[in-house]
Structure 1
Amino acid sequence: MERFDLGRLHPGSRGTFGLPVMHMPDGNELWLPVLAAAGQADGPTLAVLAGVHGDEYEGVRAIPQALRAIDLAELRGRVIAVPVCNLPAYRTATRSSPIDGLNLARVFPGDPHGTVTQRIAHVLTERVIAPASLLIDLHSAGVAYSMPTLVGYPHADTPLAAAAREAALAFGCEVLWAHPPDPSATGRSISAAEALGIPWIYTEAAGGGRALPADVACYAGGVLNVMRHLGMLPGQPERRPLRCHLLGAGNTDAPIRVDHSGYFVSDVALLDRVTEGQAIGQVLDFAGEPLERIRANRNGLVAMIRGLPAIHAGEGAFLLTGEMPGAPGQL
């Protein structure tokens, strides 16, 4: 496989390349796959990532679909896309790396002298994110959780946040999630982009260890929509009516956790409105008797629900967030 070098990507070309990370104990070199395309005319550089977690598959399928749909004669600028960022985790269908146990989405901008996950983050930051005019990171809820199909973006009074918001609107999802600055949300690819002054958006979807065709189509179409918005492709983004506009922290490391192990049952659906103290789920024993009633820790909307029924004490069950004032569907 040809080594990826953005400087040698010829105008009017596209290809599949490899991005070397490190040599493994068996002597083979770990390479990340890169799909790239360059137009004949100058324009922005769009970076697209997927497979940061090894159990999230929608973006893995959507990236090649989007790249194949690009007419090079119409393209202005360049696209750099990595369909599987975390190859070790992808090979074992796990969220974190089976080699060093690290979550790639918590170690950006990485370390060139660190463990395999830290080195992957470093290579992605330096070779893919840093040259970009905008970053799109395609995520989903993975095997353990379920989330609505949405686009997240930074919510602040800055030019970077304003550019990100416009890109999020252009992507074409029915649900947006605006995130105010959160000092605890570090180590993400989007954290690395923000530190470099690069606007960013990210996506979430149902997950569950599947890649639903509707979500794949939304992601592939969303990438092309953003390219139209940036002037990289002709035409206007194909927007959908906005159904829900969430506002609040999106830190999935801080969900509502349970105190008992057992069988988890949700009594609410995604995007339901709940009030603080409301019973929203249960943990049952093998006889079907309740061990614990899970209650909302705030007023808000349900942004994430655990998808696996078996649950251990201390694991997350729900994530709640707020809503943008005047948002669509607000009562």
Structure 2
Amino acid sequence: MAANPRSLIQCTVDFDAPGFQTGTLKVPYSHDRSAYGHIPIPIAVLNGAPGPTVLLTGGNHGDEFEGPIALMKLLQTLPRQAIRGRLIVIPALNFPAFLKGRRTSPIDGCNLNRIFPGKRNGTVSEMIAHYVDTELFPLADIVIDLHAGGASFNHLPMVLASLPADARRHDEYVRLIEAFGAPHTMLMDLLGEDRTYGAAVERHGKLFICGEFGGFGTCSIDGLSIVEHGLARLLHAADLIDAPDVPVSGGTRLMRVEGARHYVFAPEHGVFEPMFKLGDRVKAGQAAGRIFNPHAPWQAPRVLRFESDGMVVCIRSFTGVEPGDCIALSASDAEWA
């Protein structure tokens, strides 16, 4: 493997070679018990006839399992699959976190999805982000990153959509979203956050599809099925594969998060009692729950309220809260622009 001037990470697969290959991304990691060591992150590539390149990643957060399991199952079929184009598959991008079932890396404490574009000479997580941004995104036409709520959240199964800035690609993007066919599709507002994987993809001008398919740090059977069937339909819609033997989509319901009014945050420490369930329809001013003070349990609890009408699409798993913790996220019905 020749040295790569853009990245310190070496890749053992040839992205241009025909057929199916497996290998690793070798992330340099010199530490107390391995002076010249590296972290091998599994990667697979399938090259077929000319066509688009699709990058599929899971495990951006290590406590989200529907995506990694769906992609590992997909890898079992790829040696027998004929495709038009190229698939690049990394089931667990934040591999150190995935092995420990953690949202953040156990090595450097970084949240991989909040450090893009990363750094060539940075920490392990920063090097991974930098490699993806400089080496993989430029290769791809379509980028799909699979998430879930992780240990601290439970999420309604949904695609998180980000409409292309280029109006000419709008219809193509909507067609792919509708082909995936998640029960809900949400136009997300991350309150100005621009360090994410998705923000980096958009800076490259590529089509980006993300999704949240469960939570509680477990693998949802329903969420996994949505991911597997959705990926098959999307790859067919992108003309990489022939029509798959999966159920026809029942359609997707479009929703939108608009600003801080759709979020509920804890203003103080305490124990939170929810007064809503995932998927509930709520009204502005409706009580979202109460925060009790465990050090003065005789005090009246503080009542939190929703600031906007909508449907609850995400709910916190942990009962203990601190100031700034997100308790819930709601979304309003929307239509494609």
Q: Sort the TM-score into its range (normalised by shorter chain).
A: 0.7 to 0.9
In structure 2, the CA distance between the partners of 1:266 and 1:242, relative to structure 1 (3 Å rule), is: farther
C-alpha distance after superposition, 1:15-58 (max 9, x if no partner)? 3210122233123112221122122x111111001000111111
**One-letter code of the match for 2:152?**
A
C-alpha distance after superposition, 1:82-115 (max 9, x if no partner)? 1111122223322122332221111122211222
* Equivalent pair of 2:164/2:173 in contact (CA under 8 Å): no
Matched, 1:17 2:17: no
Of 171, 179, 184 in structure 2, the residue corresponding to residue 175 of structure 1 is 184
Matched, 1:166 2:175: yes
5+ residue gaps, structure 2, are 1-9
When the two structures are aligned, how many residues end up with a matched partner? 320
Deviation at 1:240, TM superposition (A): 2.4
2:204, 2:191 → 1: CA distance? 16
Instruction: Provide the alpha-carbon RMSD of the alignment.
Output: 2.7
Which range moves more in the overlay, 206-215 or 135-144?
A: 206-215
In structure 2, the CA distance between the partners of 1:154 and 1:239, relative to structure 1 (3 Å rule), is: farther
* Equivalent pair of 1:153/1:164 in contact (CA under 8 Å): no
Of 303, 306, 328 in structure 2, the residue corresponding to residue 318 of structure 1 is 328
* Equivalent pair of 1:144/1:307 in contact (CA under 8 Å): yes
2:77, 2:268 → 1: CA distance? 49
In structure 2, the CA distance between the partners of 1:272 and 1:243, relative to structure 1 (3 Å rule), is: farther
Matched, 1:102 2:131: no
In structure 2, the CA distance between the partners of 1:104 and 1:280, relative to structure 1 (3 Å rule), is: same
5+ residue gaps, structure 1, are 327-331
**One-letter code of the match for 2:63?**
D
Aligned to 2:100: 92
Of 254, 272, 286 in structure 2, the residue corresponding to residue 278 of structure 1 is 286
1:129, 1:146 → 2: CA distance? 29
* Equivalent pair of 2:20/2:79 in contact (CA under 8 Å): no
Identity %: 25
* Equivalent pair of 2:115/2:196 in contact (CA under 8 Å): yes
Deviation at 1:77, TM superposition (A): 1.0
SS of residue matched to 2:139: coil
Deviation at 1:125, TM superposition (A): 2.0
Matched, 1:215 2:223: yes
Aligned to 1:47: 55
* Equivalent pair of 2:153/2:317 in contact (CA under 8 Å): yes
Aligned to 2:141: 133
Matched, 1:36 2:26: no
**One-letter code of the match for 1:173?**
A
**One-letter code of the match for 1:166?**
R
Deviation at 1:70, TM superposition (A): 4.3
C-alpha distance after superposition, 1:270-308 (max 9, x if no partner)? 232222211022223555975221100222221211011
For normalisation by structure 2, the TM-score amounts to 0.86
2:283, 2:21 → 1: CA distance? 51
1:288, 1:208 → 2: CA distance? 31
* Equivalent pair of 1:170/1:238 in contact (CA under 8 Å): no
Aligned to 1:241: 250
SS of residue matched to 2:301: strand
1:112, 1:238 → 2: CA distance? 43
Matched, 1:267 2:261: no
**One-letter code of the match for 1:309?**
T
For normalisation by structure 1, the TM-score amounts to 0.87
1:296, 1:131 → 2: CA distance? 43
1:146, 1:69 → 2: CA distance? 30
Deviation at 1:239, TM superposition (A): 3.7
